[in-house]
Amino acid sequence: MTLLGYARISTSDQTADGQHDALAAAECERVFTGVASSELARRPQFDAMLDYTRPHDVVVFTHLDRLGRSIAHLVQLAGILQTRKIDLRVLRQGIDTSTPSGRLTFHILASTAEFERDLISERTREGLAAARVSQATRTGGGRGAGAARCCRRRSRLARASCATAVSTR
């Protein structure tokens, strides 16, 4: 049985150092690192890791979302691993698919992760729609409260300088 780690970052601006540290602490013999969105169908480093694995190896991830985000994709990948007799461990969530309770936990958390992602997307769409409605109902050139305060201040200064000019004559 070989422990193989997989770290994934979404953009090259990010760093996988924290994932590497956690995978090293889990005693992974080899760590594959991918730079790709979890939504992409092809992940070369993930595919390389799968090619490297043998039956009874264990693939280790730090978080469930490093594997994938949609439940269909997570279940598909778990099925591929199970067919090849490869177990899955997710450190953060304490998942180990070598046990029945670990497989149950995997499916429950995968469903929860997808639900959470859908809620975030829904809230984002609602917020954008509300902002569009708010923008559409505004009239005029868009002077905000700050601009109105500035205009009142200028008026007071102008009156004060006029009063000073009149009193010095």
State the Cα–Cα distance between residues 102 and 93, nearest whole angstrom: 10
The phi and psi torsions of 33 (rounded to 5 degrees) equal -125, 125
Backbone angles phi, psi at 148, to 5 degrees: -65, -45
* 162 backbone dihedrals φ, ψ, rounded to 5°: -65, -40
Nearest to 7 by CA among 80, 65, 85: 65
Task: Report residue 55: phi and psi, to 5°.
Answer: -50, 140
Q: What is the DSSP letter of 91?
A: T
Give the separation between CA 3 and CA 71, rounded to whole angstroms. Answer: 24
Non-local (6+) Cβ contacts of 50 within 8 A are 80, 84
* Block residue for tokens 């959470």: 116
Establish whether 70 is a catalytic residue: no
- For the annotated catalytic residues, the residue numbers are 10
